[in-house]
Chain A
Amino acid sequence: METDSKGDEELSRVVAKIQGGVLAVVCGLMGGLGLFIMTVWLLLEGGPKVGSHLQLLSNFFIGYSVTWKGSLVGLFYGALTGGILGWAIGFIYNRVVGIRYR
């Protein structure tokens, strides 16, 4: 266990800070592209009731629908939500780290 504790000290002396802006961009891209691709995927699959479950997102994202136009609206909402969530996680994480290692 001595080796482990030595290893801990060697590699863990620094606690990472999260770059909120970077995480916001990453999450925004993932959210926006994710929702866009899911919508397009369902549209291409087609069928009698296209994307009945994904459609439920319109409860939160005004103007979103599982249509070609909706895919672009979803891209916007997904990116916005993802960006906010990413930034918020980074912000809260950094605040807590700041308090814990003050």
Chain B
Amino acid sequence: MASHPVVVIGAGPAGLTAAYELGKNSSSSLILEAGKQVGGISQTVNYRDFRFDIGGHRFFSKMPMVTELWNEILGDNFLLRPRISRIHYNQHFFDYPLKATNALAGLGVVEALLVCFSYAKVKVFPNGQEENFEQWVINRFGYRLYQIFFKTYTEKVWGISCTEISADWAAQRIKNLSLKEAVRNALFGQRGGKKGEIVTSLIEQFHYPRLGPGMMWERCEELVAGFGSQTLKGMKVERIRHRHGRVDCVSARASSGEHLEFEGSDFVSTMPLRELIEAMDPQPPEKVVEAALGLRYRDYLTVVLVVNREDVFPDNWIYIHSPEVKMGRIQNYKNWSPYMVPDPSRTSLGLEYFLWDKDDEWTWSNERLIEFGTRECAQLGLINPREVEDGTVVRMEKAYPVYDHHYQDYVQTIRQYLETFSNFQTIGRNGLHRYNNQDHSMVTGVYAARNIMGESQHDVWAVNTEKAYHEENRTTSGNGGDRMVPVRVQVSGDELPKENEEELIEIVFAKLDPVAMGVAVGTISGLLILIGTVILVLKGGPVVGPNLSLLGNFLFGFQVTWGGSLIGFLEGGVGGFAIGYSGASLRNWSMKAYAKFIRWREEVNRRRNLLD
């Protein structure tokens, strides 16, 4: 039995990042990967020098920690690529992210009118409940737009009715957008490029490794090996043996059929929770096993067609909403990177199908799937079947954790059980049963490594749920996540570091104190009237201050006399206070209204990207 300090199960982004972080801190690890290739769902498959992804992977992250890691690992091997994506529906192409004018123009006059009526109706009579995806989207787009642009595609991807999908899935993309975050994005842009630079538009371009995302993870594997760690491929973990709240070893079956056991002091797993619980030895309590069996996963299958044509379409990918075909999305890999094809006169298309492993198509032969995909592609008017020269099929099990109505309870039960182990952590998309992007998975890997090193205790389950984690390295104030804590009022001053965006926003949007402003303006107003009146009284004359005395029309009892000067001081002071108080309040209200407008605008933008 081999013994290692840390055993990592899975060589996807989460597992390899954990091993990389450990390696940087002089801690070697053993990585057990069930597949033949590293990268998990972020791998790049090579078929006769045609490279393709398991779904497209844009490299964009709001977390500086991740962009730094990308740079460390892949250096200058990134391309900045334009993003073009559209929706195919009813023999029409619609821009995606959705643009109102383009969408309405493509739908025709009658349908456009119906869409507008439907939108207006939901704005006047919104659905009181937002428990499922359908209700969530209808409340924001209206029923008809939901039917055209969301229902068919979402049901193709998830294989269940939109009423069965939890609203969390949609809300995850825009929740936690605070006023301050929205304002910061508007003022400073969003940091998200591979160098952490400010990206003003998430929509138009993205970074992408020259040879696909797999290049990142193959390079990471090399770097990890340089730290003294080892990656064993084709090693499927079948048993995780534990006792007294600690995992002792894992038992794996090699592709040769040989059974091997690996001991370690710490264990990190990226296995799907369902498989993980099944592998625990001894078995967990009944309710934990039941919870694990209740979790569902969507499987993914891509049919790659090599087409003898230089340009098939300009998009990186097209969402296929048309219900007459089973295909959900189609990728054009050479538009992601020209290096993805060996011959520029050829195009490789990835026809993506989202399936359950019990679906017939999952077990079809590659030849049958290629023929089926070719036919569907031709049906959509994208290619001529005679142009297809070659093809292959890649299947990826458990690509998407399903967010149904029960998953949260199940995950909570499993989490409580797993947290009883002192040397075992679960990370990554399937390890947490969360629809994480690559960057979120990487952060869970970093946190798991840091927990092992005893640097600090990070909650990997909180990644992609709490604002504090999204804002890593930038949040300087209380990061209690959703929990509100009392924060002492500060008074702005020169001592605040202005280079800090957070602080700068605090200063710019600092609240004026209405009472203080009222007192200041009131005092000055009162004094002005007092001094003006006294000057005129002292000057004297036959008629003292005939013009200033007109103030008596507004200030009850005011005259240009000694007594009147005091009345003017008091009443002018009160009037000035009212003006100062209202002015400051109005200014505060305007700033907040402006910030809310910015947030609303950004939320609308995010909703337009809901399908990504």
Contacts and interface: CB of A to CB of B under 8 A. Distances in A.
B519 interface: yes
Contacts of B421: none
Contacts, number: 100
Interface string A31-44: 00000000000000
Contact of A17 (B477, B491, B532, B539): B491
A60 B491 CA distance: 38
B539 A59 contact: yes
B515 interface: yes
Given A6-B178, A10-B180, A59-B536, A96 B515 contact: yes
Interface stretch (B149-157, B306-314, B412-420, B520-528): B520-528
A15 B591 contact: no
A10 to B, nearest CB: 5
Interface in A72-102: 85, 88-94, 96-98, 100-101
Given A59-B536, A96-B515, A101-B491, A7 B595 contact: yes
B183 to A, nearest CB: 8
Interface string B478-515: 00000010010111110000000000001101111101
B201 to A, nearest CB: 25
Contacts of B532: 60
A35 B453 CA distance: 71
Contacts of B178: 6, 10
A76 to B, nearest CB: 18
A96 B513 contact: yes
B520 A11 contact: no
B535 A59 contact: yes
B406 interface: no
A49 interface: no
A22 interface: no
A47 B507 CA distance: 50
B462 interface: no
B327 interface: no
B550 to A, nearest CB: 11
B592 A7 contact: yes
Q: Bin the interface of chain B by size.
A: 35 or more
A97 B516 contact: yes
B517 interface: yes
A91 B528 CA distance: 16
Given A7-B596, A11-B591, A11-B595, A93 B517 contact: yes
A16 interface: yes
A100 to B, nearest CB: 7
A45 interface: no
A16 B515 contact: no
Contacts of A8: 592
Contacts of A88: 520, 523-524
B524 A92 contact: yes
Interface in A45-70: 53, 56, 59-60
Given A7-B592, A15-B510, A101-B491, 17 more contacts: A7-B595, A10-B180, A11-B509, A11-B595, A13-B506, A14-B510, A15-B490, A15-B512, A17-B510, A59-B539, A85-B528, A89-B521, A91-B520, A93-B513, A96-B513, A98-B491, A101-B513
